[in-house]
Structure 1
């Protein structure tokens, strides 16, 4: 994430909200979230009503949200099946933070897109990058093997599977694998993202470690903002093997900080969300 990009957009915060509280997990609603409640809950993190409505409309056009009615008859929006699959796939990275070992092997995505479908080539590269793939060669992208299922789901959902062959294997090149990893990924940029997360949220964790009891609204606000920023990192950095990374790699510390915030704040935030949805 560059300094020029906004940290928290209305659209991103809405997706983050549904991922944390809007899927029927841990007491959240399984059906549509009333638009009035969504406006109140996003207002707690600084998003005004017109921005919420505009972002919801864009997410609906993209097929991520679908309009519906709550059991009480209120207008609301729920997740599409594709969006649920997207969020379910993300859980393992965002909350589980799998880390590969050098012996687990690699996943290769080799693709070829006809010239008259250049737009699909751009979409394919963009999605592979967002899944955490590095570039081994033109048309050859690489990632730790554990991202296979999520990659398959994503390519099928976007109608791109017919352009790609997936392979699993080991690196048998002529240079040390650590040197290759430094070519395949921009490790300096990834480290900078981890450090930016730590700069923003490690002080938040320190404050909460001293604070009892946990006020629900403040917990919800701090958790949603931390999750909104964190959830991008396990995609930029897909859990590369620790033995292939620089010795001062900040990713592990960033993961521990987010895990501690999640344990401390997520359920407390639910106590703020539940009355708004009721």
Structure 2
């Protein structure tokens, strides 16, 4: 298992990819089998499931056969549904859509909440326009609202729709608001790992004949890709540097999704 794939992250990715279409929960034994295909041992699966349960993302539920299992909580389903709109967005934001601003103030006595708020806005893909003023493409407003309400941080934040009126060109300002070289590096890392995998599948064909391999390659690609639309929140292409690798990495993921997602489901159902 590659370093960037943690057992907890892979479990969330598994539920996101295949757990929502199931009529019931994953049995613990199923989770151990499915994560075992990704070189995660049983104790790591059990401890990760326990942590996800404590975080309120998984809830214990018996399968139809009476086996112990875990289903997604309502909050987890909302998180995954919000994530789908990013992961499978397909195109960057249009400059005409404008921006959403998050303006916050947290009392000094509640510094932990200030840290949580900053870290969560960063994880949602916001850039920093000024101290206490964070900015993102306007299409992220609803997901931001869901997140702040879920974390009970809404009392500290005002959200605004905004248009950039100057004085620097918007493309120049975007370079201050986000660390674009760091985001580009993440796209390049994804391409370095998964573009060769796509070439192999395109050459050998018929992933339905190799469901375990299709499952493994799809889930590891999805696990890494699903973080990228949060680091890079779909900034308008016109505002990004020449040669930006985001479109290429999105095309690679889209192709892998189309080739491997359904064949991988056969292994999950086995």
TM-score clears 0.5? yes
Give the match's secondary structure for 1:205.
Answer: helix
Give the match's secondary structure for 1:151.
Answer: helix
How many residue pairs align between the two structures?
267
Map of 1:43 onto structure 2: 36
**Structure 1 98/147 Cα, relative in aligned 2: closer, same or farther at 3 Å?**
farther
Partner Cα distance (2:93, 2:178) in 1: 15
| Structure 1 unaligned residues grouped into runs of 5+ | none
| Structure 1 segment 63-74 matched on structure 2, within 5 A | 63-74=56-67
Select 1:243's aligned residue among 234, 238, 246: 238
Give the match's secondary structure for 2:38.
Answer: coil
Select 2:132's aligned residue among 128, 139, 143: 139
CA-based RMSD: 1.0
Select 2:189's aligned residue among 187, 196, 204: 196
Contact preservation (8 Å) 1:89, 1:150: yes
Partner Cα distance (1:90, 1:212) in 2: 29
| Structure 2 unaligned residues grouped into runs of 5+ | none
Partner Cα distance (1:238, 1:68) in 2: 35
Map of 1:8 onto structure 2: 5
Give the match's secondary structure for 1:110.
Answer: strand
Q: Determine if the alignment matches structure 1 residue 255 to structure 2 residue 259.
A: no
| 1:98 CA displacement | 4.2
Map of 1:268 onto structure 2: 263
Q: Give the 4+ runs in structure 1 shifted more than 4 A.
A: none
Residues 167-197 of structure 1: CA deviation (Å, up to 9, x unaligned):
0011012111111000000000000000000
Partner Cα distance (1:70, 1:125) in 2: 39
Partner Cα distance (1:270, 1:115) in 2: 49
Partner Cα distance (2:140, 2:103) in 1: 15
Partner Cα distance (1:63, 1:221) in 2: 27
Q: Determine if the alignment matches structure 1 residue 21 to structure 2 residue 40.
A: no
